[in-house]
Structure 1
């Protein structure tokens, strides 16, 4: 029996073998096709129920198989899984095209859509109808036969290219190892980081010495603390040149081909560029608005960034006679300057942020705001022994969600941090089916002498991903495709980014920031220093984020057919955001997974866009009290539970009473 083809509630990880995946995909695709055939062969006149709802609830088995498989391909992959991904991705792309290019199906949808003003639909039903119609019209339903054929070819190619891109980045990350045997090479590194590096060497079969890798928990502390400038340079160049070595793991051709195919696809569908196509379904609406938004912030942040960079360069020159500040100097001297200005460094803070305490802290914040209770359970099947599982309840003990937490790096797991789901939420036949949500991060693991202690940056990352998690857990909609984080992409970061604000508040920190050895609550002067330092180098940070948004638009808001040199194009895109001298050896585009593998193409600006929303939203909490139940209920009822059932600006205004103001962000960032 194939466990993926039997009905299951929680993913049956321990029963699944790699050989189950492909047959499960093939069978689930056939079953989903049969469900589509049942809709198109229905002789009754098309209605919302027999066409739109029937389509919405079709292919659920395929959705479950896909979520299990692709989540594993991100968090616990191996060569066999990657090979299967390359085989099944074109099949899924083809199936998706089979639906959107199905003329009989589109006729029925169009028929319902044309009657929409006479149908008595709820707001959510209207949204679903609109979304279904657009998913066809925006993806080729109105194209001629030869253009439909070309669209299928493009989509199949893109599916494979995106996977190859991600596999190359992961392989490059895993391939690089900086093995050190002279302890003086680790001068400046805190004891905990040295111990972690020794543990890493031991795990790699070395009897002595220290191992530094390109995984964040290894890379970032080395760049921040290691005094050896040459080694920082080596590591920085290795990190910055992932998939940019003109070898079999090089992504330059993949980048060019992905950009060109996306552009061709947009043209086929009647759009000027890929960005025009994407942004039609975003709050920002057009590439012009995105550029205007990014450039407005750039004008505000650039003077501050130049001052901060000059201050850092002067500081490095005075301290160590550094004549030219380079990229590999940034973190090191920023940390030193921050310590000098605020008498604050991560090593002072980390003992107060034991991972388990921070997890309990984010749970307590969720309890105080939204009445949620988290109970760790040990009878849920997991894909790795380090994953923790929790059942989430409301104050009346109603089951809300299952929550998986996976927090440490390993070779089969891609870098970064993300939220995902193994099962969506929906309502059907009088039953509210609850979601299964997962947070995946890469935090420093515990060592023989110390538990996992987080940097403050890792604390905010945990709160950020948990905000996405809440968006999924508290979903309360009828239809799965409108549930949880299925919202406009530039709205999806609001719940995650707003949660980070609680990390800076005394009332919240006192709930969980206790010293792992003494139990002492974090001293008030440290809390004050965290707040004071929160706008440290905010101009430079803002420029960095804007540079990523502008690079994204430079690939997707143009006709890329003339672009032949990835590096040259990137340097031009960075233009006014550049502070450090350019390094010929590095290239960001070849490892920019967010836009070339993930879903952020033409959408990277949304981090900054959502910062405006989150600064404005949190100002409301600050005004009324950060644990004010009334404001929290408004946020839950109008934002977290509503998913994509209505236009996000409508939802936001219902919560806040007005549109967000960019001044809230500029004020918080100290850029006014």
Structure 2
């Protein structure tokens, strides 16, 4: 959710309900988390829905001639209390949920979907929006954009359909909300319910001290029944697959990781996926599209599934070729060690790490002491300061939804407030897996000067009390990635809420995040911030050089596991297979067979746990967007290289104006061209991944 703009209250609620207040008397208007209890949400949702319905009815029934102000502007001002309730609630259902919140989520998800459908399928409202005449009103550029986006949204929601089709589209939306919620809750149950006990030195074989400490911390958090456990947090299970010399335990851990969502019983997601795919295909046909993929990509930079698939194919061939060469080297290493077995998916990371040590003299356990969490947070902040003049002041005494959450006031160089940034960095059973950015309040100026409250949520494995949490280089990259999203929300500089922050095309939204990753890999940044967690000494120059020299190591594997997920996603949504009953594993296996997927590499996200595409529509038929945005980010960083300064002030100013601060003010192609002066080519991406010939 990227809502939460207002401080409007909700009449009719009990005064003790925090959502009844017209404004929160908290520092910076943060939600009063400590005062909000589960029983407050349903009454607040009910009151907020009723208030919004009344506002929409008034707009639709206005007797005055439709104008931008009394129709589109009025809609932008409407629903603020609902935004506020929903932004708090849905942030918590992802980052700190419990059975009470999950029950409320199952109730409210279809209710909210039906509410949205009632708005977008309201014929009187659509007639007024259609009747707004921009030429006669001399609308500003931003107002033109808002009007255009409203018209596009209404059409894509079914505003032009007949009554029967509208009713069916609304039914589909409500059912999809139910299914997406159940998918997410099933996945969280499988993730939080698994632990691999490591009892005794034999089970810990090969694990370096930092990983033993993280496994001990995870065990303590889960009740202390075992001295060490491996959970399905990526920051714990991936290093276990890298370092454990127990092949049998690696296999067990990998199977649990890849079979989330298809374990049978109540948490199995396969039937949910089949129904979701069928409903998406039906909705797309009702709206006049050949498939859900055609519907989804019609409003993106790519424009069509063919364009997205062409990019994936362009990358797939060199990636698969390189992965084949990587596989041969790993198999040779197994044989050199006397192993009498063929490389399997649960072996790849383990032997890739050994090969990296051999080829680059680089050991992840040697690197991690120089990447403490505090140092990488400081590096992300310092980069933002040098690019955009931002200042960060940590706030120790503000409301927070969990003791782990930290808060910073973000200001411009002149001291003016930009917004608040929250960081929630550690894995816990109440948090879904992955890493993401969200907002408790989004920037806008329509309802006064509204500054954003942005949150980054991670799942790093926590070190024991008193010890520094050490990150892998991939973990550090994840932190920079999500902070790039955070800056997209923080630096937003728009008037209308609809255009704020990350509310951009799905294959443009990853540009600010992926571009920000580039600064982590710059020697200038690492020399300053990659410091030993105990001594404070900078990373030795020789180690730094080896780390950067190994950036494209194993990129065949990394590209194949990602691209396979993107291809399966697109193939699934180009198909209507779900209508006849979709066998998810069989469909997946067939799609992978057709692209000759190496058997030794698993998809980064298998369908039964692919939350990106089944917890909601956000990345459905859109997982390709990471690669599409990578074409942009690789080319965009070249602008700084060409200027001869990775913090070049003029380039950074253009970047802030046209990308980080622009929200959805412009079509994404126009936004990128405004920054770069032209559209990008694929060549910088292939060089970045080491896939160029």
Short-chain TM bin: over 0.9
Distance 1:341-1:247 versus aligned 2 partners, 3 A rule: same
CA distance in 2, matches of 1:577, 1:382: 48
Partner of 1:337: helix, strand, or coil? Answer: helix
Native 8 Å contact 2:235 2:475 kept in 1: no
Correspondence 1:541 to 2:558? yes
Native 8 Å contact 2:188 2:432 kept in 1: yes
Deviates more, 1:182-191 or 1:366-375: 182-191
How far does the alpha carbon of each residue in 1:134-181 deviate from its partner, in whole angstroms, 9 at most, with x for none? 211111112221211111111111001001001111100111121132
CA distance in 2, matches of 1:664, 1:68: 40
Instruction: Kindly state the Cα deviation for residue 247 of structure 1 after the two structures are TM-superposed.
Output: 1.4
Correspondence 1:623 to 2:634? no
Counterpart selection for 2:330 from 290, 312, 322: 312
CA distance in 1, matches of 2:548, 2:672: 27
Corresponding position of 1:4: 19
Native 8 Å contact 1:425 1:475 kept in 2: yes
**Could you tell me the TM-score, scaled by structure 2's length?**
0.94
Counterpart selection for 1:54 from 74, 77, 89: 74
Deviates more, 1:176-185 or 1:256-265: 176-185
Instruction: Kindly state the Cα deviation for residue 448 of structure 1 after the two structures are TM-superposed.
Output: 3.9
Instruction: Kindly state the Cα deviation for residue 446 of structure 1 after the two structures are TM-superposed.
Output: 2.3
Correspondence 1:496 to 2:496? no
Instruction: Kindly state the Cα deviation for residue 200 of structure 1 after the two structures are TM-superposed.
Output: 2.7
**Could you tell me the TM-score, scaled by structure 1's length?**
0.97
Corresponding position of 2:632: 613
Native 8 Å contact 2:503 2:663 kept in 1: yes
Partner of 2:392: helix, strand, or coil? Answer: strand
Correspondence 1:478 to 2:495? yes
Native 8 Å contact 1:504 1:530 kept in 2: no
Distance 1:446-1:198 versus aligned 2 partners, 3 A rule: closer
Partner of 2:383: helix, strand, or coil? Answer: helix
Native 8 Å contact 1:504 1:527 kept in 2: no
Instruction: Kindly state the Cα deviation for residue 202 of structure 1 after the two structures are TM-superposed.
Output: 3.3
CA distance in 1, matches of 2:621, 2:635: 24
Distance 1:211-1:642 versus aligned 2 partners, 3 A rule: same
CA distance in 2, matches of 1:217, 1:578: 25
Distance 1:301-1:270 versus aligned 2 partners, 3 A rule: same
Corresponding position of 2:4: none
CA RMSD of aligned residues (A): 1.6
Correspondence 1:234 to 2:252? yes
Counterpart selection for 1:37 from 43, 48, 57: 57
Counterpart selection for 1:339 from 336, 339, 357: 357
Deviates more, 1:203-212 or 1:213-222: 203-212
How far does the alpha carbon of each residue in 1:173-228 deviate from its partner, in whole angstroms, 9 at most, with x for none? 11112113231111100012112223333333346532111122321121110001
Correspondence 1:639 to 2:659? yes
Counterpart selection for 2:378 from 360, 366, 391: 360
Deviates more, 1:492-501 or 1:502-511: 502-511
Native 8 Å contact 1:477 1:642 kept in 2: yes
Distance 1:405-1:322 versus aligned 2 partners, 3 A rule: farther
CA distance in 2, matches of 1:665, 1:148: 43
Corresponding position of 2:669: 649
Distance 1:374-1:189 versus aligned 2 partners, 3 A rule: same
Instruction: Report matched runs for 1:86-125 at 5 Å.
Output: 86-112=106-132, 115-125=133-143
User: Number of residue pairs matched?
Assistant: 668
Native 8 Å contact 1:567 1:587 kept in 2: no
Distance 1:487-1:150 versus aligned 2 partners, 3 A rule: same
Native 8 Å contact 2:376 2:530 kept in 1: yes
Distance 1:582-1:663 versus aligned 2 partners, 3 A rule: closer
Corresponding position of 2:423: 405
Partner of 1:651: helix, strand, or coil? Answer: helix
Instruction: Kindly state the Cα deviation for residue 268 of structure 1 after the two structures are TM-superposed.
Output: 1.1
How far does the alpha carbon of each residue in 1:211-269 deviate from its partner, in whole angstroms, 9 at most, with x for none? 11112232112111000101110111111111212211111100100000111111111
Correspondence 1:662 to 2:682? yes
Instruction: Kindly state the Cα deviation for residue 583 of structure 1 after the two structures are TM-superposed.
Output: 8.9
Unaligned runs of 5+ in 1: none
Instruction: Kindly state the Cα deviation for residue 407 of structure 1 after the two structures are TM-superposed.
Output: 0.1
Counterpart selection for 2:161 from 120, 134, 143: 143
Distance 1:203-1:439 versus aligned 2 partners, 3 A rule: closer
Native 8 Å contact 2:446 2:497 kept in 1: no
Instruction: Report matched runs for 1:47-86 at 5 Å.
Output: 47-86=67-106
CA distance in 1, matches of 2:225, 2:493: 54
Correspondence 1:463 to 2:494? no
Correspondence 1:393 to 2:411? yes
Counterpart selection for 1:153 from 154, 158, 171: 171
Corresponding position of 1:420: 438
Distance 1:478-1:24 versus aligned 2 partners, 3 A rule: same
